[in-house]
């Protein structure tokens, strides 16, 4: 899936933009990698080279550093270079961008803690060279404190290199919308969206501080070199606005447009909204692959408001596709595209027995397939593909649901206590008593005790059985892997390990599936869904020589938030109004995730509402293109192994 070979050749050094047709809309130099890991390694290499260069010059190297999920792999690589290649940090002086206010350094949510955990504790940087805004300064001291932070950077000769992430508000550091070009280090009030994004690590928005100390726009812009990291689909919109929009205080990152040595390092998902990727035919002549034709035609229908079969030569010509028309006329293009989309629709996701399957998404044989549905959390199966799940069971396939993680951190203390108290009422036990005590006396760090986590995991198991039974599945076909990478008790998870892969390999080898369904969610490359997908890929890779794997197809569904683009869909499973209701009821079985879920995000709709709207939207898009009209549709893309 990831072309790491090509990634290795990408050069991230700064180049002035605007020289090439393809960057005509862009105002900031950027490079796009398929794999954010390789991209992070490249950035770490640039930092390491700078540190070594300064060592050669017997000078200090002054780094501006960021926290958040984006730079984690960069720090991991720097630590590896220190341990394995002897990269020394003795000449490094660091200034962190920001810190919450108020915030104690020993709080696990502090940026002080983050930086020590990810970098400083593992390298030889002298403690006195580390500068992180102090979240304990009292309100009457903050002005003087911020001025002194600014002065210290200056005394060290300014920042040689500034590493940045970007918030969905367009903030850099915590310079939220409205920040002034000339702003220096100061106290700011966090934007609501920023607090929503931080809520999962604080286990709820109410625990997220309202203020922070941040370096200003002018502080950041004075850095001699700036590299901003952007990973995942969640960042795609703000990346486009920042790179292609006008400079505006409403998107503070746009201030970077006139920095003369700034590079955005992105992964493919974060770069999807850029004009040269989204609508390349508006930028330059294209090589018209089948994929690009489909993408362009869906866009053309949306832009003109027409169905596929009513697109005319003029529509193509007027919208940047004259070169496509030169190769093929509108009539042919339209018919081919219509048929292609028509062939994605099937009410037989496991294949239609005794039918010609030439133009069907799945094979007709074997008529009864063994199917694994991997569900990252205990509920993604019904949320993301409840309708398809239902059809597979009804059509007689041997369906197995495999829950990859326990999902225990998403159960609230209120729910856990309720169940523990019920258990106490039935049979008083030390264990239940311990759980109730542990919840009522939860300590500062807010990590659940192992017993509480165990109970929370069991609650999710119970809910999952309720849903799978409702869908007509026997309990033997329901499996819980509790992958170890997830079991940290906090939002921050461990890296995938051989133990995780071994559990995945074991279950796949046991079931020997003809079909695997997995969450192909790329919205957050560090999120649980992506890690679970990596685990599926790694297990399939390990098993690729097994005979049964040669006959196994992998279908990817999307999570609760994003859906595949219409032109990407390879199987669309329509749902009747009755099936929509059945899916809704199955989602309702996951009671601990209903109403006020712990990790709501900025979308206040419940999961069943998001799923229904998304499925209805897909059906409406097919209808708008001139295909049959259905109540709802679930969509899948087939992953082809190399």
**607 Rama class: left (phi>0) / alpha (psi -120 to 50) / beta:** alpha
Is the CB of residue 432 less than 8 Å from the CB of residue 420? Answer: yes
CB of 461 to ligand F6R, least distance (A): 31
Beta carbon of residue 69, minimum distance to ligand F6R (angstroms, whole number): 4
Beta carbon of residue 385, minimum distance to ligand F6R (angstroms, whole number): 28
Contact at 8 Å (CB) between 607 and 383? yes
Minimum Å gap between C-beta 637 and ligand F6R is: 25
Q: How far apart are CA 476 and CA 210, in angstroms?
A: 48
> Which residue's CB is nearer to ligand F6R, number 174 or number 403?
174
> What's the min distance (Å) between Cβ of 98 and ligand F6R?
5
Q: With respect to ligand F6R, which residue has the nearer C-beta, 172 or 511?
A: 172
Report in angstroms how near the CB of residue 166 gets to ligand F6R at its nearest: 6
Q: Which residue has the tokens 């206590």?
A: 417
| E strand or H helix that includes residue 114 | helix 111-118
Helical spans, DSSP H, in 427-497 = 430-440, 450-470
Nearer to ligand F6R, 174 or 480 (CB): 174
d(Cα 8, Cα 234) in Å, to the nearest integer?
25
Q: Which residue is nearest to ligand F6R (CB)?
A: 165
| DSSP result, 539-597 | HHHHTTTSHHHHT-EEEEE--SS----GGG-SEEEEE-HHHHHHHHHHHHT-GGGSSS-
Q: 33 pairs with which residues across the strands? A: 267
Least distance from ligand F6R to the Cβ atom of residue 29, Å:
19
Q: Residue 555's closest CA among 509, 526, 513? A: 513
Report the alpha-carbon distance of residue 304 to residue 192 in Å, rounded. Answer: 36
> Which residues are within 8 A (CB) of 258 and not within 5 positions of it... i.e. 6 or more apart?
247
- Closest CA relative to residue 407, chosen from 438, 384, 442, 375: 375
Identify which of residues 70 and 91 has a Cβ nearer to ligand F6R in the complex.
70
The answer to whether 232 and 524 have CB atoms below 8 angstroms apart is yes
DSSP 3-state of 162: strand
Q: Which is nearer to ligand F6R, 226 or 308 (CB)?
A: 226
Task: Return the number of the residue (73 or 369) whose C-beta is nearest ligand F6R.
Answer: 73
Contact 573, 580 (CB under 8 A): no
Cα separation, 222 vs 160, in Å, equals 9
Q: What does the binding site for ligand F6R look like in residue numbers (CB under 6 A)?
A: 66-70, 97-98, 165-167, 171-174
**Structural contact between residues 627 and 342, judged by C-beta atoms closer than 8 angstroms:** yes
Q: How far is the CB of 245 from ligand F6R (least distance, A)?
A: 18
Judged by beta carbon, residue 96 or residue 464, the one nearer ligand F6R is: 96
Residue closer to ligand F6R by CB (options 121, 339) is: 121
Q: Whose structure tokens read 């059906």?
A: 619
Query: Minimum CB separation from ligand F6R for residue 446, in Å?
Result: 19
- Nearer to ligand F6R among residue 67 and residue 179 (C-beta): 67
Q: How long, in residues, is the chain?
A: 642
The residue to which tokens 């199917």 are assigned: 371
Residues 6+ apart with CB under 8 A from 281: 292, 296, 319, 320, 321, 323, 324
176 is catalytic: yes
H or E segment and range at residue 399: strand 398-403
Spot the catalytic one: 26, 99, 176, 244. Answer: 176
By annotation, the residues acting in catalysis are 176
């Amino acid at each position: 899936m990831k072309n790491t070979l090509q990634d290795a050749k990408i050069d991230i050094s700064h180049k002035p933009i605007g020289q090439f047709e393809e960057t005509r809309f862009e105002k900031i130099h950027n490079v796009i990698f398929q794999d954010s890991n390789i991209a992070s390694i490249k950035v770490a290499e640039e930092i390491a080279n700078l540190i070594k260069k300064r060592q050669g010059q017997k000078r200090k190297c002054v780094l501006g550093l960021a926290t958040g999920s984006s730079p984690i792999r960069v720090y991991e690589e720097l630590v590896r270079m220190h341990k394995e290649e002897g990269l020394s940090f003795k000449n490094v002086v660091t200034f962190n961008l920001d810190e919450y206010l108020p915030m104690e350094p020993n709080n696990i949510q502090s940026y002080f803690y983050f930086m020590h955990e990810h970098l400083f504790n593992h390298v030889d940087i002298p403690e006195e060279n580390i500068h992180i805004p102090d979240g304990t300064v009292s309100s009457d001291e903050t002005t003087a404190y911020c001025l002194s932070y600014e002065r210290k950077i200056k005394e060290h000769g300014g920042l040689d290199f500034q590493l940045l992430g970007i918030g969905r508000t367009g903030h850099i550091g915590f310079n939220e919308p409205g920040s002034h070009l000339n702003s220096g280090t100061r106290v700011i009030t966090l934007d609501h969206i920023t607090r929503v994004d931080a809520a999962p690590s604080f286990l709820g928005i109410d625990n997220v501080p309202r203020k922070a100390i941040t370096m200003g726009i002018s502080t950041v812009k004075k850095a001699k070199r700036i590299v901003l990291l952007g990973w995942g689909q969640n960042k795609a919109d703000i990346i486009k606005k920042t790179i292609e929009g006008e400079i505006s205080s409403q998107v503070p990152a746009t201030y970077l447009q006139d920095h003369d040595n700034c590079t955005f390092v992105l992964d493919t998902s974060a770069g999807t909204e850029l004009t040269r990727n989204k609508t390349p035919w508006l930028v330059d002549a294209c090589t018209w692959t089948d994929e690009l034709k489909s993408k362009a035609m869906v866009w053309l229908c949306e832009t003109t408001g027409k169905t596929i079969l009513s697109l005319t030569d003029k529509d193509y010509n007027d919208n940047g596709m004259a070169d496509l028309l030169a190769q093929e006329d509108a009539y042919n293009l339209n018919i081919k595209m219509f048929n292609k989309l028509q062939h994605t629709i099937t009410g037989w996701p496991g294949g239609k027995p005794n039918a010609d399957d030439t133009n069907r998404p799945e094979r007709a044989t074997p008529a009864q397939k063994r199917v694994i549905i991997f569900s990252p959390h205990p509920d993604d199966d019904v949320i993301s593909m409840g309708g398809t799940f239902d059809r597979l069971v009804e059509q007689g396939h041997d369906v197995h649901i495999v829950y990859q993680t326990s999902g225990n951190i998403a159960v609230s203390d209120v729910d856990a206590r309720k169940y523990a108290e019920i258990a106490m009422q039935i049979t008083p036990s030390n264990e239940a008593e311990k759980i109730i005590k542990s919840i009522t006396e939860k300590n500062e760090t807010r990590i659940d005790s192992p017993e509480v986590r165990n109970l929370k995991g069991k609650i999710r198991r119970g809910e999952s059985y309720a849903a799978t039974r409702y869908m007509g599945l026997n309990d033997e076909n329901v499996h819980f892997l509790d992958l170890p990478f997830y079991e940290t008790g906090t939002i921050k998870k461990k890296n995938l390990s051989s133990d995780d892969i071994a559990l995945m390999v074991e279950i796949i080898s046991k079931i020997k599936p003809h079909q695997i369904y997995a969450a192909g969610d790329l919205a957050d490359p560090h999120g649980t869904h992506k890690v679970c997908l990596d685990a599926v890929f790694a297990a399939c890779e390990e098993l690729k020589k097994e005979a049964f794997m040669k006959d196994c197809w992998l279908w990817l569904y999307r999570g609760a938030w994003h859906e595949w683009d219409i032109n990407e869909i390879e199987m669309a499973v329509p749902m009747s109004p009755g099936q929509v209701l059945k899916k809704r009821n199955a989602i309702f079985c996951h009671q601990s995730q209903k109403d006020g879920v712990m990790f709501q995000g900025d979308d206040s709709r419940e999961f069943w509402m998001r799923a229904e709207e998304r499925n209805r939207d897909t059906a409406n898009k097919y209808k708008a293109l001139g295909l049959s009209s259905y109540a709802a549709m679930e969509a899948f893309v087939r992953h082809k192994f190399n």
